[in-house]
Structures are given as C-alpha cells and as structure tokens.
Amino acid sequence: MSVNKPWTLKSIAKELGVSNATVSNAFNRPDQLSEKRRNEILASCKKLGYSGPNKAAQSLRKGKFNIVALVLPDSVEYMVTDPVASKFVKGVASVLEKNNVNLLLFSGTSDNINSVSDFVDGFICYGSPRNTELIEQLRVTNKKVVTADFDIDRKASISIDDENAAFDIAKLAIRSSDDNIAILGLRLLNSDVTCRVYDAPNFDIHCSIAHQRLIGYQRAINDAKATLQDDRVWNIPESNHHFAAIAVKEALTSIPRPNVLLCMSDLIALSALQEISALGLNIPNDIRVVGFDGIDEAQRSTPPLTTVHQNSEEKGSKAAELFITKANHAEQIPYHLIQGKTC
C-alpha cells in the first residue's frame, strides 16, 4: 500500500476490496453502514492518505458549491481597511456562515467574473465596481446576483435612499442663500486623482451612489436658493485622509472661502475637521461640516460629526438574506441623521 498515491474513490475502493458505494457511504452517508464498518473504512483511508471523494467534482455534478463571491467596488486590500465596507462584509458573512455558505472576496479591479463564475453559486456585488466592465458581466451572467447600493435590473438589490439622505443632511448645514458651499465628492469621476469636477459625466445614477448624493446636495442648495459655484465640487478617488486632505486644503484656500462643506463620506469629513482646526478656524461658527455613513469614529471626533447613519452591517445581512432566499425584489433600509456639533 502506498500513502503517496493520488487516490480516487474507485482506486481506494479497489485497494480496500469494497465497492465504490461503500467508500462513498462511509464519508457521505454514515447511516448506510454499521458504525464498526464505517470506522474501519475511514481508518484505512486515513492510513493511506485518502481524505474522501473529490468535493469539487461533487459540486460540479450537483451545480452547487456553497460559495458566494462578494464583488467589492475596489481592491480587496483597500476595502478591508474601509470601516463602511468592513461592516458590510461582516453582515454578509454572519448570514452566510449560519447557512453553511462560504464567502469569496473578489476585487472590483479584476478583469472578469468568469474566472470564478464556474465555481460559485452566485454574486453579491457591493457598490459599483472600479472596473465598470464587471457591471455588464454581472448583468448577463446566469448565476444569482444581488446588488447593494446600486441596481442593474437583476431584481434583487438592497440600498438606502442616498439622494434623500444627502438632501436631508445638507439641509442641516445650509442656513441661507448667502452660504458659500463646497462639495467634497467620492468617485464622481473615473479618476485616480483628487481634482475639481466642472462637468460631471452622465453616469447612470442607478450605478453610482456618489451621483445620487450629488443630486441630493444640489436639491438642498436649490431649495435654500443658494448657489454652488462651478469650481466648488471635488472628486476624491478614495475615502482616506491622503486624498481628502488635498481637496480640503484647496477648498479652504478658495476665495471666497466656503462656510459649508458637504462631504460624501465620514472619513472625508473627519479629514476636513482636522484641516480646519489646523488653520485655527472654528467649527461650526466659521465652517459647517457634514459627513455621510455614520462610522464610529465620527462620534468620537472633536466636535462630534453631523452625519447620515446608514447601517452597513444590516445592509450586508439583508444582501445575504436576499441571496439565500433567492429573492427577486429590491429593498431599502432606513437611514437616520446624527446631529452632532459640526453644524
């Protein structure tokens, strides 16, 4: 007997002098054998280095893998450090684990979902991927797809009302038609640099929460009869201090200096608070700031941030539930405003 031999179900059964079905039952249907007989077969298999029937082959035959690919909007390295994304992943994982389904993280910068499509039961897509070609691939795949924070007509989706949430939070910040307003946007452009946005591209707003939020901010500005100057909208490619600080410094040195900053994420807003304080300006007397997301750090800031709280963990749980139940409908979960002391 060789313990280094690449055993198959057929070859191990021949080696042990039993039928293929007997070996298969020992691993997969223990009720079909006596306990003594099963233990003898399992012990012999272990001794020979055979760990059981090929699970991949079984999954291919059944067409079920108990694996869901979670398509992230950006690289896995970046997304696992983002507090909003990590909460979403936690929510997804909690539901899938309870249903004995494994989770595969898939980068939104990848070229093709077909590289994993044959080995997963379907996809949960969190936000519009950086590689927009993946959106069309998800639209046409024959696997189950659930989207979060955007919709591609695959029926099952989960989101909050980003446009109205942005409108509501902006209304807390804008006091009069004389306010000088700046918008610190997140991925309004398909660009890797922080820059001003003069003409936002005509993206499908169903695939971009940034553009839904921009529309909400613009509605609030119009409602207050205020004016947003053409050079007062910034694109920030990633929600972190490095990229946000560039936009904040440009905004704070603009003439006239804005007295309202509408930020599309809490991390951007927290960077704004840091830069404003460094200039010796007072919040909210000199500048009013609002964020978006409701991350824990926002309530520990000085002063506490006024923001939109979206329950990202609940959103992840709901996305996984839509997948597990094979749902074919869209859902929105509620958001609420956190009135901190930055307005």
pLDDT tens-digit profile of 93-145? 999 999 999 999 999 888 888 888 888 999 999 988 888 889 889 988 989 99
Asked whether the domain spanning 162-311+334-338 has the same topology as the one spanning 9-53, the reply is no
Token representation of residue 137: 């691939």
**pLDDT for 27:** 85
Confidence of residue 205 (pLDDT cuts 50, 70, 90): very low
The string of pLDDT tens digits covering residues 279-331 is: 999 999 999 999 999 999 999 999 999 999 999 999 999 999 999 999 999 99
If one looks up domain 162-311+334-338 in CATH, what number appears?
3.40.50.2300
**Sequence ranges of the domains in the chain:** 9-53, 62-159, 162-311+334-338
If one looks up domain 9-53 in CATH, what number appears?
1.10.260.40
Query: Alpha-carbon distance 167 to 192, whole Å?
Result: 27
**pLDDT for 50:** 87
Give the Cα-Cα-Cα angle 327, 330, 331 (nearest 5 degrees).
Answer: 105
Instruction: With beta carbons less than 8 A apart as the criterion, state whether 234 and 185 touch.
Output: yes
Query: Alpha-carbon distance 1 to 306, whole Å?
Result: 71
CATH class of 62-159: alpha beta
Instruction: With beta carbons less than 8 A apart as the criterion, state whether 165 and 207 touch.
Output: no
Among 275, 277, 266, smallest CA distance to 245 is for 275
b/e string for 58-82 if b means 16 or more Cβ within 10 A?
Answer: ebeeeeebebbbbbbbbebebbeeb
Confidence of residue 203 (pLDDT cuts 50, 70, 90): low
Which CA distances in Å does 242 have to 19, 135, 270?
Answer: 64, 28, 12
The string of pLDDT tens digits covering residues 154-201 is: 779 999 999 999 999 999 999 999 999 999 999 998 888 999 998 766
Among 225, 224, 269, 226, smallest CA distance to 251 is for 269
DSSP symbols for 260-278: EEEESSHHHHHHHHHHHHH
Query: Alpha-carbon distance 171 to 159, whole Å?
Result: 21
The string of pLDDT tens digits covering residues 36-68 is: 999 999 999 888 888 887 765 555 555 567 999
pTM of the model: 0.82
**pLDDT for 1:** 47
